[in-house]
Chain A
Amino acid sequence: MPGRPTPHRPGSNSRTGADSRPGPDSRPGPRSRTARRPGRLRTTALATALVSVLVPVLGACGGGAGASAGGATLRWASSYFPAHWDPVVSGSGAQFRELALVYASLTRTDEKGDAVPDLAESWEYNDKGDEVTFHLRPGLKFSDGEPVDAAAVKAAVERAKKQKNSALFGDLTSIGSVDADGLDAVVHLTQVDYQIPQLLGQRVLQIASPKAAANPRKLDQKPVGAGPFVVEQLIPGTKVLLKKNPDYWDAKNIHIDDVELVSAPDASTVVSGLRTGVYNFADLDPSQADAAEKAGLDVFVQPGFNASNLSLNVNKPPFDDDRVVDAVRHAVNREEFVDKLTFGHGEATDQPFPTGYVAYDPQSRDPYPYDPAKSRKLLAEAGHKAGDITLDLVIPAEDPQAEIVQSQLAAVGITVRIKIDKNWATPFFAKDLTFSLYGTTGRDSAVQTLTAHFGPNGPLNLSTPYEPAGFDAAVAKVRRTPLDSPDYVRNLRAATRAGLKSKALVFTYSSPNLFAKSKAVSDLPKNPAHIDWTGVTIAGGS
């Protein structure tokens, strides 16, 4: 950071000025200093040697406040350090992984992405499919001593639906009410929906202690859950220290004693931090993968559902003309995103998830192939000459994606001005923007992913209330289909197909969930899009 310029007083010695140079009348001064130089040099050398020895020693002795003596400590540098620790405010974005250190949920997902028991040991639907009862494990407590029971589940759902600053209410439209009966939480649905066990997992219903949640602002600073770890110290936006929760229902399979979660300062510094032991686990920008591998770190891709897209507002010109939308679709070269942004670790996708995901519809593959000539022709048909259309691409932060979009659209005659708006979220979610970018890390429920993108009020649908024809019916059909039904995959893909008729989204590529860890940290369960610490060990303690 630059320093402030300081006026020089006449006659004062300046650091760089000619005044500091010995003048013709300055001999006595330097001479007397020269006479003492050997002694001062010795003192300086001794002091330097002392400091060089003491600093590392004292540094090692100090350690972090949360570092255990000899225990296994996870030092995690995260690019998604949560801005909020109240799960209702934090929402269902990528930071749920960090909040999952503190909070448990009714269900979790396994390596196939299926819902499996977490706080609920089992659940069952009624015959009609519009009511599901979750049976909680007995004897569980939140870290403040409050019981984990159906009343806590009911309170969590109601808070997520009603709290003024809830980022989750849009995800819970299928849930009408919850009845609490001891350890049984009976969830009454507004429609038949077999997605609920997947929905009420870590992304959407991390359950906080109702007593602590009575003051949501305090909960945001001092989270209280029933997850594998308990918060000891939280420095907002910077660092959180956690220790193992001995009362966690699966504590026997948690082999990490302490966690130091820090906000990763900069992508380019993460590898150095890992190499020097400041961290032993971090998410990694693809540009750093080579350096991490060369440093001898374990670089791995956790399976996930990431997808990036261009968001168009079809309620505003020029996207109210289908030919302009189609021109943009044909102007997008997905491979360029993959090559330049993922360094070979990602893949192109034209759907809101990567290929291979259960909801990916092979029939809808690449309906608008990269064809700049066709794009220019469509624009001409719409009456636009090259340079006629100028778009403001509004994004929250500098992003090479935007520059690629700008360059690709320039090639077909559309001028794009990139506008960075630190307050981007407000106009984006208010659907005020015409053109923007978004990247999702997906949802555990495939239907939730589809409705978030294509639903009339989907948060990622910039064109609200626009909805592609037939999408609502197709989604309702999937909701009515049990997940173990042979028709499930077919119905799900039909809903994807209906959603992809949307003119509001152009999907581009799927970035990898790239991580690097020291070899001392054992492999993680391959739960898609999750970071699950169950069974993970850290060799050699801290």
Chain B
Amino acid sequence: MVRRVLALTSGRIAAAVLTVIALLALFGPWLAPLDPLATGDNTLAAASGTHWLGTDYLGRDVLSRLLDGSRVSVLGSLEVALTALVAGALPGILSVHWGRVFEWTTLRLADTLVALPFLLFAVAVVALLGNGLTQAMLVTGVLVSPLFYRVARAATLAVARSQYVEAAVVSGASTGWIVRRHVWGKILPPIAVALAQTIGVGFVIVSSLTFLGIGVQPPAPTWGGLLASDLGYLSHRPWAPVAPALLITATVWASNLLADAIRDVSGEAGRVLLDDRGARDGRPDRTDPAPAPAPAGGAR
């Protein structure tokens, strides 16, 4: 699938942007040119040779804070996505195989979670359990999990009705064997789409929560937190929110682009699309007098 995603221009762009973001998350704190927590007398300063993106209201280097904050911001969104995957996909698959009680219970639970607003619930849980990013993200992940539940359940249902699965059941195969052998491979593509999309959503949620001062304790920098503090000093540094806002936007955009690319190449439709594009890429220029070959994917 990776090769097929990278065969698309949008896939390559998304992968490039997300790789840069991942590198920032991995090495950002070490790349920071100055101590991101060191205050100074030179507050709200404009960009200069020493401070490439200026300084904040306590005289701290903004570039260093952006780089240092990238890890928390990215890890938070990954935590949301992975929590949602585990809390949603497994019950989604098992709801098809584990009988009506489990199916009914998980369906109602998913319906309930869908009805809860992310931010309000996260704020309430943080008030209950203490202000920390881990608890905020875990809760948010659980709230996002119905997406994975429904995607996994729908894909599993389609597979479960196929004759080869029925044959496996008749021949005494266990649920675990059926899931591993027949279900898992079929539901991976839609799960991958949902995961990429959820990373983007998780990023917006992390940024929103840290914008509201929830999840990360000061003075630890996050992109959302930097954006929030910059907004308070717009009259002094009107351009300041641009950098954290661009980073947030680029990450969310790339995640969504990746989700679209995975969806495009998933399943039969995706293969046909790629084959079709490949055929068109190989097609001679319109000015070429030679007749164009027939599309490889055939008529649709």
Contacts and interface: CB of A to CB of B under 8 A. Distances in A.
A397 B213 CA distance: 8
Interface of B: 10, 37-39, 41, 43, 57-59, 114, 117-119, 126-127, 130-131, 144, 147, 150-151, 154, 190, 193-194, 197-198, 201, 204-205, 208, 213, 217-219, 231-236, 256-257, 260, 263-264, 269, 273, 276, 280, 295, 300
Given A2-B118, A407-B39, A421-B131, A7 B219 contact: no
A404 B150 contact: no
B114 A4 contact: yes
Chain B interface, >50% SS class: helix
A340 interface: yes
Contacts of B10: 18
Nearest to B204: A2
Contacts of A420: 131, 213, 217-218
A417 B300 CA distance: 63
A398 interface: yes
B217 A417 contact: yes
B213 A398 contact: yes
Given A18-B260, A418-B218, 10 more contacts: A2-B201, A5-B201, A7-B190, A14-B260, A14-B263, A24-B280, A288-B235, A339-B43, A340-B58, A418-B217
Given A2-B201, A4-B114, A407-B39, A402 B235 contact: no
Contact of B198 (A5, A266, A397, A403): A5
Contact of A2 (B38, B57, B127, B208): B208
A365 B252 CA distance: 55
Contacts of B276: 24
Contacts of B236: 287, 290
Chain A interface residue count: which class?
35 or more
A268 B232 contact: yes
A167 interface: no
A403 B229 CA distance: 13
Contact of B235 (A1, A24, A291): A291
Interface string A1-27: 111111110100010111000001100
A403 B204 contact: no
B147 A7 contact: yes
- Residue of A7, A397, A422 ringed by the most chain B CB atoms within 10 A: A7
Contact of A271 (B58, B204, B235): B235
A418 B219 contact: yes
A460 B276 CA distance: 74
Interface in A398-418: 398, 400, 402-404, 406-407, 417-418
A393 to B, nearest CB: 10
Nearest to B127: A422
Given A5-B197, A422-B131, A423-B127, A25 B300 contact: yes
A171 interface: no
Contacts of B190: 7
A25 to B, nearest CB: 6
A17 B263 CA distance: 8
A267 B232 CA distance: 7
A294 interface: yes
